[in-house]
Amino acid sequence: MGKPLVRLRVVEIGLGVGLLALVIRAGQVQLLEGRRYAAAAKAQRTEEVVLEARRGTMFDRHGTAIALTQETYHVGVAPNELRDPARDVPKIARQLHLPLSDVQRSMRKRYAWFAGPFTSLDVQPIRTLRGVHLEPVLRRFYPSREFARAVIGRVGEDGRGSGGGGGGLERLLDSLLAGTPGSAVVLKDRSGREYESPARVVAEPVAGNDVVLTLDAELQEIAQRALDDAIDNMQAEGGDVVMLDPRSGEVLAVASRRADGSMRPSAFTDTFEPGSVAKIFAAAALISFDRVRPTERVSGEGGRYRLADRVVTDEHPLPTLTLADAIRVSSNIALVKFSARLEPAEQYGVLRAFGFGAPTGVEFPAESPGRLRPPAEWSRPSSASLAIGYELAVTPIQLAAAYGAIANDGVLLQPTLIREVREGGPNGTVRYRHVAEPVRRVVTAEVATTLRDLLRGVVEAGGTAERAALANFQLAAKTGTARRVVAGRYAAGQYTASFAALFPADDPQLVVVMKIDNPQKGSYFAAQTAAPVTRSMLEQALAART
């Protein structure tokens, strides 16, 4: 009798211990591990996804979109969910512009995937088909693929301008354009596919800011087309064009191209010795320090003038020359003689005041400061070399800004590419609007007027740029033809042809700088290359405005 009772007691104790263990385990699961299991279950049926922020649009100064973001789609199809495959599959193929046979082959899989990306118009007719799953993707779009490409840049593979191949303004302005991504929770089926049910938004994405550039789409097209034609017709290695509003410092057009068709921002990053286009700055120093009288003449030396270390020559020798003559016919000899009256500190100071040897401050990454050595580093011939545009390295944007100071009554302005920044959307609040930023007064208004008069003579009969003259407007301009440095030495037969113009001469509203690298076909002189091309650009710009 005792043994059955003992066994019963053992069974009762065992059941009690088992129940106690079950309660303890249940409590552990519910109280201590409940969150982990709930999270695992939730992860199987939900997913938190990133909602991309719309990248801000870049516009030209007149509101033409030049870089914008479009909503596109990847398309997924679950064949077993289609109501009528015989009807739906051809419709899907037709809307996605894909061969029907390829789509039918994909339908043999459990889930067909078409990356595209496809536009809203493509997917609209199949959006309501059961079994069709759309995944929205924001894509950067450039309406004109080559428009100011070297300046605008491109977004990288990560959709940002900060990496993965991005560059230009897309990179520089990335923090303004990118916006802030949002997040949402979506439901998934057992296969991990998202349901069509609405997502629960955790955080709304914030669109990036829109940026209005100073570029003028019309002038940009004119500059690019003219530069392309010049490089092709002259068999040049490359070139640059910069157009600038001298009253505001706003850059209206920047075109850069190499002979192979590639585009890089050489107008901001590549330097060259300007040659004779820099002679006007030597004249500015001479006039500012009162070292030459208007009627004073120097001998032209028969076109050859021997210095201690070299011989200076003139292409258009005159018996005697005033400073106005020297600028008009681009006399090396006269400029060297006149500039010998300047102290090195005076000559250097004026060049530095015009902005050479320092970045302009334009909003562009990796802008070159150019090269202008201080007088302590000059050699014996440096003063003569600088007077005629050698031993000085400048960028096209620096040269345009310096000529802009002459046009702007002697005040140097910081050039800019950004006109306005505003919150995304048609009625976005303006966060920034450009105001002209004076850097310094370089010369007096009276000296600037005299310099414009000197440049006006260059385009008149007998001047080196008479081929640039316009029918109804007067230009103030200067030609420059400089030997090119290759591998540290001046290369025989290689030249840079450049031209700087103020339009119109009386009240300049536009500065144009054109540079052509090593033209090989026909003349290499700027008077026959860069000058007539600039005239053509101005004629096109005038025609477009009438």
Predicted confidence (pLDDT) at residue 42 exceeds the cutoff of 90: no
SS3 assignment for 41-68: HHHHHEEEEEECCCCCCEECCCCCEEEE
Q: Are 417 and 169 in contact (CB under 8 A)?
A: yes
**CA atoms lying within 13 Å on the CB side of residue 38:** 7
- Look up residue 414 and give its amino acid: Q
Identify which has the larger pLDDT, 425 or 66: 66
pLDDT-based confidence at residue 309 (cuts at 50, 70, 90): confident
Read off the DSSP letter of residue 198: P
Predicted confidence (pLDDT) at residue 405 exceeds the cutoff of 50: yes
Identify which has the larger pLDDT, 327 or 44: 327
What was the pLDDT predicted at 32? 58
Predicted confidence (pLDDT) at residue 284 exceeds the cutoff of 50: yes
Identify which has the larger pLDDT, 234 or 543: 234
Q: What is the pLDDT of residues 332-373, one digit of tens each?
A: 999 999 999 999 999 999 999 999 999 999 999 889 999 999
Instruction: Tell me the pTM.
Output: 0.84
pLDDT-based confidence at residue 160 (cuts at 50, 70, 90): low
- Report the SS3 class of residue 394: strand
pLDDT-based confidence at residue 507 (cuts at 50, 70, 90): very high
Cis ω on the peptide bond leading into residue 532 (within 30° of 0)? no
Q: DSSP letters of 409-469? A: TTEEE--BSEEEEE-SSTTPPEEEE----EEEE-S-HHHHHHHHHHHHHHHSTTSTTGGG-
Identify which has the larger pLDDT, 448 or 191: 448
What was the pLDDT predicted at 197? 47
Rounded mean pLDDT, 455-471: 93
59 contact partners, CB below 8 Å, separation of at least 6: 65, 66, 210, 211, 212, 213
Predicted confidence (pLDDT) at residue 310 exceeds the cutoff of 50: yes
